[in-house]
């Protein structure tokens, strides 16, 4: 299909089709325009947000990051008082905290850090 033919199908000029193509290359195309072009091509626009990793892994990583932040504060104080956990116990506590965080309100996973 030529640009002129597509333009006629969606009611715009050939030069507007060229601008749409340029906007797409520059990541400046709106969803409304893309939907209109899709309809002109007798297509259905489908867009999706696809996680870069499995969602359960993403949630576990967030919970571990929050557990690390909590442990950093308390473990520092414990070291000052010569009550620091050894590496194995610290990792076990991190996992326990992460599980507690996962069991709680899932919206809190997206709080800092």
Q: How far apart are the first and last CA of the chain?
A: 50
Beta-carbon-side half-sphere exposure of residue 83 (alpha carbons within 13 Å): 5
Tell me how far apart the alpha carbons of residues 1 and 38 are, in angstroms, rounded to a whole number. Answer: 13
CB 33, CB 23: distance < 8 Å: yes
Question: Per-residue confidence of the chain (113 residues) as pLDDT tens digits?
Answer: 999 999 999 999 999 999 999 999 999 999 999 999 999 999 999 999 999 999 999 999 999 999 988 888 776 666 656 666 778 888 888 999 999 999 998 888 888 76
Please give the structure tokens belonging to residue 95: 């996992």
Where are the domains positioned within the chain? Answer: 3-40, 55-110
CB 60, CB 66: distance < 8 Å: no
Nearest to 55 by CA among 106, 97, 5: 106
What is the value of pTM for the model shown? 0.58
Helices (H), 11-54: 14-25, 31-40
Q: Reduced to 3 states, what is the DSSP secondary structure of residue 107?
A: helix
């Amino acid at each position: 299909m030529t640009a002129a033919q597509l333009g006629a199908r969606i009611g715009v000029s050939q030069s507007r089709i060229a601008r749409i193509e340029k906007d797409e290359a520059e990541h400046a195309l709106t969803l409304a325009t893309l939907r209109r072009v899709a309809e002109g091509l007798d297509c259905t626009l489908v867009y999706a947000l696809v996680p870069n990793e499995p969602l359960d892994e993403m949630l576990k990583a967030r919970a571990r990051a929050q557990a690390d932040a909590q442990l950093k504060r308390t473990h520092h104080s414990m070291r000052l008082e010569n009550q620091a956990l050894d590496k194995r116990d610290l990792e076990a506590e991190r996992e326990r905290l992460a599980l507690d965080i996962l069991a709680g309100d899932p919206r809190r996973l997206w709080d800092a850090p």
